[in-house]
Amino acid sequence: MGEHPSPGPAVAACAEAERIEELEPEAEERLPAAPEDHWKVLFDQFDPGNTGYISTGTFRSLLESHSAKLDPHKREVLLALADSHADGQICYQDFVNLMSNKRSNSFRQAILQGNRRLSSKALLEEKGLSLSQRLIRHVAYETLPREIDRKWYYDSYTCCPPPWFMLTVTLLEVAFFLYNGVSLGQFVLQVTHPHYLKNSLVYHPQLRAQAWRYLTYIFMHAGIEHLGLNVVLQLLVGVPLEMVHGATRIGLVYVAGVVAGSLAVSVADMTAPVVGSSGGVYALVSAHLANIVMNWSGMKCQFKLLRMAVALICMSMEFGRAVWLRFHPSAYPPCPHPSFVAHLGGVAVGITLGVVVLRNYEQRLQDQSLWWIFVAMYTVFVLFAIFWNIFAYTLLDLKLPPPP
């Protein structure tokens, strides 16, 4: 940034104090919601020389004089971000972004610079919160490693929209399971029923040309034990993540894990069918656990080591059940039981795409080079799997089980 002429410190301080006192009450009343042209008028009051810059001291004074108009935690964030300008000056666009109370590029750049000192006590120390406020605070500490982000999220979250994606997927999975249970007359190890694979939602290697099966297999589960573990994991992990990161990001990770799971089976376990939502669930859980490990010192969630251990135990139990079932004598030979490789596909998505999605709160994905690298890797894998499904089965002269 180039040099900008400025008066002496004493003269500047006096002039700034006078300009703050000259602020009209009407302007003060409409300050928090002023459109950009009003911000320009206000900015010019503090920049009589039309240099395009004001000092961070002026900005701090302006914030403090209007502290009643801002949420307390957002005010702290704005002050911390103002302090991140090492040159001691704020340009007009930064001024508009900050005073408009937006998480724009100036916010993200300041956060990435590492200047995140907040003046008051941590959010965890606040008392007298309602049940809903404690829940939001708990979610913030479960998923976000930075105090500046936790405070911003705490003041910004309105539960509108609610975490509809994970709730909808879970309800659909339970509904389909109950329907199949009634139809088959079996709820435990439904996959052993002779008519189980006849469902049009299951991925079957002989029916791999029916593209919807690469996704709809998540609504079919091997049994209540399979459904139970997946539902518990995606509710305990997926719902809080969606509350923070939104349905778009979490849906992206979940669906990418689901598709990667079925494609991985079609490449690595070519004769096996696929059922269950483990690909999507493992993508979310592995991304969340990797995020905790990479930000271990910043994660202030209670019993984080115990929570990680419980999640890993549940994942290991579910994966072990899937491996055992895959090699258990099939109830409908020569077709084997469903594959466990979908779990591994979900984990691979979680520790690549998932980690990038969850790493920075509200940072735009298109601004991250690592995001594009993993998107490219995922795209190459999908294209490879598609060509593999088209040509490899014929070239290898593989003997597939008959269609259900």
Tell me if 190 is assigned to some domain: yes
Residue 310's domain is classified under what CATH number?
1.20.1540.10
Show the tokens assigned to 44: 């010019």
pTM above 0.95, yes or no: no
DSSP class per residue in 197-215: GGSTTSB-GGGTTSTTHHH
Give the H/E segment covering residue 201. none
Residue with tokens 């929570």: 307
Residues 228 and 303 in one domain: yes
Please tell me the distance from the alpha carbon of residue 248 to that of residue 256, in angstroms, as a whole number: 12
> Which of 300, 249, 307 has the alpha carbon at shortest distance from 137?
300
- Are 295 and 149 in a shared domain? no
Residue 109: what pLDDT?
54
46 and 123 within one domain: no
H helices of 185-234, in order, are 213-216, 224-233
By C-alpha distance, which of 330, 335, 325, 340 is closest to 403?
335
Question: Which residues touch 404 (CB under 8 Å, ≥6 apart)?
Answer: 197, 198, 202, 204, 206, 332, 335
At 74 the pLDDT is: 63
Choosing from 127, 142, 159, the residue where a domain stops is 159
> Is 359 within the bounds of a domain?
yes
- Cβ-contact 181, 193 below 8 angstroms: no
Give yes or no for a contact between 345 and 271, defined as CB atoms under 8 angstroms apart.
no
Nearest to 234 by CA among 154, 157, 340, 314: 314
Statement to judge: residues 153 and 168 lie in one domain: no
- Residues 385 and 391: their CA atoms lie apart, in Å, by 10
Distance CA 388, CA 263 (A): 10
* 215, two tokens: 């996704």
Q: How many domains does the chain have?
A: 3
- Tell me, yes or no, whether 29 lies in a domain: no
CB atoms within 10 A of CB 235: 15
Tens digit of each residue's pLDDT (9 = 90 or more) over 340-393 = 999 999 999 999 999 999 887 777 787 788 899 999 999 999 999 999 999 998
Catalytic residue annotation: 278, 343
pLDDT tens sequence across 239-265: 999 999 999 999 999 999 999 999 999
- The whole-number pLDDT of residue 1 equals 41
- pLDDT band at 61; cut points 50, 70, 90: confident
Q: Would you say residue 78 lies in a domain? A: yes
Helix-, strand-, coil-residue percentages of the chain, each rounded to 5:
65, 0, 30
Q: Which domain holds residue 85?
A: 38-103
The better pLDDT of the pair 128, 105 is held by: 128
Same domain membership, residue 345 and residue 295? yes
Backbone φ and ψ for 24, nearest 5 degrees, come out as: -70, 145
Task: Name which residue leads in pLDDT, 256 or 321.
Answer: 256
Among 225, 321, 322, 314, which residue's Cα sits nearest to residue 272?
322
Same domain, 173 and 139: no
Where does the pLDDT of residue 81 fall: very low under 50, low under 70, confident under 90, or very high at 90 and above? low
Distance CA 383, CA 400 (A): 22
Same domain, 233 and 130: no
Neighbour count for residue 10 (Cβ, 10 Å): 8
Q: Quick one: 263 and 183 in the same domain?
A: yes
62 within a domain of the structure (yes/no): yes
Instruction: Say whether pLDDT at 275 is over 50.
Output: yes
The C-alpha atoms of residue 143 and residue 304 are separated, in whole angstroms, by: 11
CB 264, CB 345: distance < 8 Å? yes
Evaluate if residue 30 carries a pLDDT over 60. no
State pLDDT tens for residues 213-237: 999 999 999 999 899 999 999 999 9
Structure-token match 């609610």, residue found: 162
127 and 206 share one domain: no
Over range 183-200, report the average pLDDT: 90
**In the numeric block, which tokens belong to residue 393?**
């089965």
150 and 266 together in one domain: no
Residue 18 has pLDDT above 50, yes or no: no
Percent of the chain with pLDDT over 90: 39
Which CATH number is 49's domain given? 1.10.238.10
Shared domain check, 205 and 150:
no
Q: Bigger pLDDT: 64 or 353?
A: 353
In a domain, 254, yes or no: yes
Same domain, 241 and 390: yes
Which two three-digit tokens encode residue 4? 């900008």
Q: For residue range 138-187, list pLDDT tens digits in order.
A: 888 888 887 777 877 887 788 888 899 999 999 999 999 999 999 999 99
pLDDT at residue 14 in the model: 40
Q: Are 148 and 116 in contact (CB under 8 A)?
A: yes
Distance of CA 148 to the CA centre of its chain: 17
| Residue type, position 131, single letter | L
Rounded to an integer, what is the distance from CA 153 to the centroid of its chain? 13
Q: Which residues contact 87 (CB under 8 A, 6 or more apart)?
A: 1
